[in-house]
A and B are shown apart, each in its own frame.
Chain A
Amino acid sequence: GQQLNQSPQSMFIQEGEDVSMNCTSSSIFNTWLWYKQDPGEGPVLLIALYKAGELTSNGRLTAQFGITRKDSFLNISASIPSDVGIYFCAGPTDKLIFGTGTRLQVFP
């Protein structure tokens, strides 16, 4: 079945640093979604991308829909402690396909 490969698996960074993560697929998607999940909570939608090549920002977060439609990138600038959590990419088909997640730790 369809699968989204997300990297890196985990990141340990210092407060103030920028973060980059990406998601790749063997199949084309028409939409890319980025969610953040805190421990014990549900995923919260950060950014939704609906057009190939689209670059969208939400505060310190910027995400891009790859031109090939097979990848997407999420950047976080000037990280802060509350950025800690697991970031999932996802692509909707008849179901929502999730990436494997990137666990982010931010040290003060």
Chain B
Amino acid sequence: DTEVTQTPKHLVMGMTNKKSLKCEQHMGHRAMYWYKQKAKKPPELMFVYSYEKLSINESVPSRFSPECPNSSLLNLHLHALQPEDSALYLCASSQVGGGSTDTQYFGPGTRLTVL
């Protein structure tokens, strides 16, 4: 099973709302990732969790707040977003994170629209 699940599939929120994106994997992977993807561009890395600890934050604004409750779950809390934050948000997981042979598996994404 190489499945990563994400909820919700679509999310529309106002600039004053607070919402959360959820991601789950049951492959026993110890690294999980959040990416942001704009149309026709490759995914851009936002955060990496390795063994449930935040290991990389790509200078993401504080209005995005990641959380890793356990090794299977990854959340992204959203607050006071801007319209330019509208994008496809992807979660991924891999066995260990950061290795030169590490293979990442992606979820189906959450399409976020900020009004």
Q: Which A residues form the contact surface with B (CB < 8 A)?
A: 29-31, 33, 35, 40-45, 48, 50, 86, 88, 90, 92-96, 98-101, 103
Contact = CB atoms under 8 A, between A and B. Distances in A.
Given A31-B100, A45-B104, A50-B101, 8 more contacts: A29-B100, A31-B103, A35-B106, A45-B103, A45-B105, A96-B92, A96-B102, A101-B40
A48 to B, nearest CB: 5
Contacts, number: 65
Contacts of A100: 42
A50 B95 CA distance: 15
Nearest to B33: A96
A92 B100 contact: yes
Interface string B42-71: 110100100000001000000000000000
B73 interface: no
B47 to A, nearest CB: 11
Interface in B93-115: 94, 98-109, 111
Contacts of A40: 88, 109, 111
The 6 closest A-B pairs by CB, nearest first: A98-B42, A42-B106, A30-B100, A42-B109, A92-B102, A31-B101
A94 to B, nearest CB: 5
19 contacts: A29-B100, A31-B103, A35-B106, A40-B109, A43-B43, A45-B2, A45-B103, A45-B104, A45-B105, A45-B106, A92-B99, A93-B100, A94-B98, A98-B42, A100-B42, A101-B40, A101-B41, A101-B42, A103-B40
A21 to B, nearest CB: 15
Contacts of B92: 42, 96
Nearest to B91: A42
A92 B103 contact: yes
Report which residue of B33, B41, B42, B109 has the largest number of chain A beta carbons within 10 angstroms of its beta carbon. B42
A45 B17 CA distance: 34
Contact of B56 (A29, A30, A48, A95): A95
